[in-house]
Chain A
Amino acid sequence: MSENNKRQPLLEMVGIEKSFPGVQVLKGVDFSVYPGEIHSLMGENGAGKSTLIKILTGLYPLDGGEIRINGEKVEIHSRQDAIDAGISVIYQELSLIPTLSVTENIFLAQEKVKGKIMLDRKAMRAKVAEMIETSGFSVSPDDIIETLSVAQQQTVEIMKALLNDAKLIIMDEPTASLNAAESEILFEKIHNLKAQGKSIIYISHRLEEVYAMSDRLTILRNGEVVAVVDKKDIDPVKVVEYMLGRELKSEAKELHEPIPGGAVLKVEKLSTKDLLDGVSFEAYAGQILGLGGLVGSGRTDTLKCIYGLLDYDGGSITLDGKPLPRNSGAAIRAGVGLVPEDRRSEGLVLLSDLTDNIALPNYDLNSKSFVISPKKALAKAKESVEKLLIKPGHTHIPTANLSGGNQQKVVLAKWLQRDLKVLLVDEPTVGIDIGAKAEIYDILRNIAGKGGIVIVASSDTEELLKISDRIVILVNGKVYADLKNENLTENDLILAYSGMKREGAAQ
């Protein structure tokens, strides 16, 4: 391929295999990284990227194949083995202790000592100062972590890796919580590391970064390497096709038109302090509106604003011309419901049974006074169990014991009690099996069919294409595109999420 062939790779993973009960996740994966190379690992969720990384860092044992560092076979059974082999990971969720200083964090669990007991603070501080100096980081050794920005915290993580004399640094979605300016700074640091001869394995859903930075790409699909591409051969559209592996034709599907004279939800120039920056779109009764975008693009925040759970600084949200209340209790009474992103922590009281959970937002319907009727609540629960086929249908076991699909049905059942005008659904089917997925899609379609406005935010492009009549795509808190779901492919969506367009794509 290039001059790389003449060199000795730093890391070689050869014929890596890994199975979990019932599934083979990695089927003989070959992967190599040269010294001073930025190598991106790409693939859809479930392609095997994180499994490969976990094997490399000693979190999972491998079933077959071998790992070589500088041509020599190594056994990596624990994180310590990985560190000894010169491999460090910068995790998505930072693993720093917020109340300690930069120096204390970097030397945590490997403190320098004088004699046998006394901490050698001076030496540790000097070492950190030296690292900051050589790498040009904008932190001080004595800064307390919680006072730093996320980007600065990442530089601390990088120094931690450097202290261990890492030759290979793995970065998993490092820009997910950074803004554009902070990302730029991080890229500079990464190039700096490259110049020092360090190798980087880079994982990101933001394609434009990947294309701009990588020396090479390895693309995984269903546990197999489908392509290794050199920088000069990168073609954005092709790469996405490799990732998806499908003939990229849009499926013919039945699109639903707005119900004439039905309700209209209008979001106009919605802005929040943190993220949203003038989001505008309309949603109509009878349709499912898909809300797409990367993590941090503003999908969830938009839904929370409509539901009255998150306050906004600018813009307006109106239902049939009337402003929606900016308080979730009142929004519920105005006919809005939200199925939140994380059903376990936000959607359900797991200790309570499905009867209590379904009743929770609906006591105003259960009785007019403050005295409630457990009998009515039970009857409603039984009705939901029958209608939505919730299993097991026992009304008195804690919802913690239900499967993901059934838990989600319980959350949906809360809103089916009410005369709903707008149903907001955030990640409707994460962690739900295929059978229950189809049932949940049917429930959503039914609600729209009965004249409801349904807005579904999802990180799953296949899901959006399958159920939406229209798709609004958010990029960095702004609406990037508002498309009819006609002739759209996953490729179009994935490119649009990173602010790119395919030639000739439907508008």
Chain B
Amino acid sequence: MKILKGKGDGKKSFFQLPLIVVALIVIMTIWKPGIFLTPSNFLSILLSICIYGIMMCGTIFPLLNGGIDLSIGSTAALSGCVTILITMAGNYTPAASLLGILAGIGVGALCGAVNGLVSSLFGIPAFIVTLASSNIVLGIAQSISNQRTITCLHSEVINWIGTGKILGIPFPVVFFVLLLVFTWWVLKYTRFGRYAYAAGGNPKATQFSGISTKKIQIATYLISGTTAALAGIVLSCFNRQAVYTQASGYDGDVLVALVVGGVSMAGGEGKITGAIFGLMILGILNNAMVLIGIDAIYQNLVKGLLVIVAVALDVYARNKNSGLKRKTLRSIFSKG
């Protein structure tokens, strides 16, 4: 039962996250003076998180709905490949690039819609459906790219999307910020946004209010697939190449950012404003570990620990507020 007595509306975790971000910045500034706290390093952090951020804006929807999307990395790879391949097939003309981008977005939306349809119509847990579709989508990306890196240096449109600037700010960053604002607006000011929260918090009560929770569920995956495609396309444009491995592991990092940012895996709770801080913590940690010179192996280890700590804190806060008994080791191993 997802009845959580006394749980606030997420404000508490929202106020703590900025503190962690500030603490990380202070520590790193002292640790690596003149290296960490520079405009160029901050821009590089921003660039590194904006691909994850674009994905996060859509993937928050299935999570709020009580589901999960593990196929976003593969979808990003497939969409990137589709966009680049069509651009090349059309001789690098702007028209070909635009067509490629539209096709890439369409493919992502389709992947998401299929995830949603399969999981809602057959009642299969989203975890299984998206894990399976992740493999299928990756397989398609591998086969259309012949498992090779496809390099695309001569398209103006592609190059501008990847490295163009608006008022001195890289386009990917601008796009991410706009998408973030749009997501915040959708969640707060549209019927669909409110239904997504309600259906995640209590699907039965939402149904009793005359709302089709299945439609909401399908839409959340469609959105998640679409933003994964957008992220994949921007990534390919930035790299001026597409390869089926380009976004492998991204799904994990996006989920880390969302969960650390206070989005509940049980659904119905969490805000995009909280998730931004989750993303910033992840971005700064990644950057810091590189600056300090921590080996890549340990970077994954640190990220893994971060998730466990974040989720444990979330569960702890819920149980504390609901008055449930906390599970202690003693209670688990004692008889009865």
Contact = CB atoms under 8 A, between A and B. Distances in A.
B12 to A, nearest CB: 12
A61 B180 CA distance: 57
B205 A328 contact: no
B208 interface: yes
A347 B208 contact: yes
A350 B197 contact: no
Interface in A323-339: 328-332, 338
B275 to A, nearest CB: 17
Contact of A349 (B1, B7, B202, B210): B202
A367 B193 CA distance: 14
B6 interface: yes
B212 A400 contact: no
Interface in B207-223: 207-212
Contacts of B202: 345, 348-351
Interface in B1-60: 1-9
B91 to A, nearest CB: 40
A413 B236 CA distance: 52
A427 interface: no
Interface stretch (B130-138, B183-191, B253-261, B286-294): B183-191
Contacts of A363: 191, 194
A351 to B, nearest CB: 4
A372 interface: yes
Contact of A361 (B3, B6, B210): B210
Contacts of A401: 5-6
B269 interface: yes
A304 B202 CA distance: 18
A345 B205 contact: yes
Interface string A344-378: 11111111110010011101000100111110000
A346 B204 contact: yes
Contacts of B62: none
B4 A351 contact: yes
A401 B4 CA distance: 9
Given A353-B9, A359-B194, A374-B189, A328 B3 contact: no
Contacts of A348: 202, 205
Contacts of B9: 351, 353, 396, 398
A360 B6 CA distance: 21
Contacts of A344: 3
Q: How large is the interface on B (under 10, 10 to 19, 20 to 34, 35 or more residues)?
A: 20 to 34
A305 B236 CA distance: 53
Contacts of A396: 9
A359 B189 CA distance: 13
Contacts of A345: 1, 3, 202, 204-205
B108 interface: no
B190 A349 contact: no
B206 A360 contact: yes
B209 A398 contact: no
Given A350-B3, A398-B7, A340 B197 contact: no
A400 B7 contact: yes
A370 B194 CA distance: 11
Contacts of B190: 370-372
Contacts of A351: 2, 4, 7, 9, 201-202, 268-269
Nearest to A351: B201
B209 A360 contact: yes
Contacts of B212: 329
B160 interface: no
A414 B212 CA distance: 18
Contacts of B1: 345
Most chain B CB neighbours (cut-off 10 Å) among A356, A370, A398: A398
A330 B205 CA distance: 16
Nearest to B188: A374
Contacts of B188: 374
Contacts of B72: none
B260 to A, nearest CB: 20
Contact of A370 (B8, B192, B269): B192
A331 B7 CA distance: 33
A309 interface: yes
B198 interface: yes
Given A374-B189, A400-B4, 8 more contacts: A332-B209, A340-B208, A349-B205, A363-B191, A370-B190, A370-B191, A370-B192, A398-B6
14 contacts: A328-B210, A340-B205, A340-B208, A346-B208, A349-B198, A349-B202, A349-B268, A352-B197, A352-B198, A356-B198, A359-B194, A372-B190, A398-B8, A400-B5
Closest CB pairs A-B (n = 3) = A361-B209, A329-B210, A349-B201
